[in-house]
Amino acid sequence: MEYKFIRIEPKDQYAVVNINPTQGFNLLTNQMMEEIVNALEDLDRDETVKVIILRGNDKSFCYGIDMQEFNDFVNDLPKLWDVYRDLFVRLNRIKKLLIAEAAGYSIGFGIEIMLNCDIVIAAESLCLGIPEASLGIIPGLGLSKTLEKVIGKGKAMDMILCGRAMIAEEAESVGLVSRIVPLKELSSETEKTAAKIAELPLATIIAIKENITSLAKAEYESGIDETVERKRIIADSDEFREYLGNLTSAKA
């Protein structure tokens, strides 16, 4: 299969999926997200692959949703949420071990993609941000519930409602990041980790992943459905339309 927004590198018993390597900050469109999920599902079925690395670039793991696409769907946001709902459910069902290699910015949906991975190896430059509340919408799909569970209600509220950024050191201390390495060593350390895990039997890797994540996966999908319904309620409100209209006028 040919891809426009990603590039796959087959390795020995693992593979690397490079996110949008031709664009600086990796803005997410539904077509790009579909390519990511399709590639992961193909690799999930590939018996020669035991571990998958999802790699951003030095500037950004993923800078969140492309605002041009958001604006294109502004009069039919439930349709956009339905597209992303299906894609993130499919991402959540990948059986192979996923390792996120994250540097620079990871924003909004970028954080949700990152947290759908099983191990997150980050550079010191990683910076997490959730700007959706400033647009009058709930962030992500299952992201709010995931953050509350991992970092606690107070920090989750602070990041979401106040837009407070979180840097790599804090992200590691609260459990959003597995480990931090210098940027120049990031790719080599991630691949070394993937290769080490790939020495194990595939059945063992999958069993360990399922044993640790089975409950979280079920809760995540439940959270997606709840969030999509809340997004629909917001999108249908006159207050939201007025708020979004004021934002658009202010930027014009």
What residues act catalytically? 112, 132
φ/ψ of residue 69, rounded to 5: -65, -40
Contact status, residue 83 vs residue 105, Cβ threshold 8 Å: no
Q: Of 123, 223, 137, 238, whose CA–CA distance to 181 is shortest?
A: 123
Q: Which helix (H) or strand (E) segment is 49 a member of?
A: none
**d(C-alpha 208, C-alpha 185), whole Å:** 27
**d(C-alpha 150, C-alpha 130), whole Å:** 15
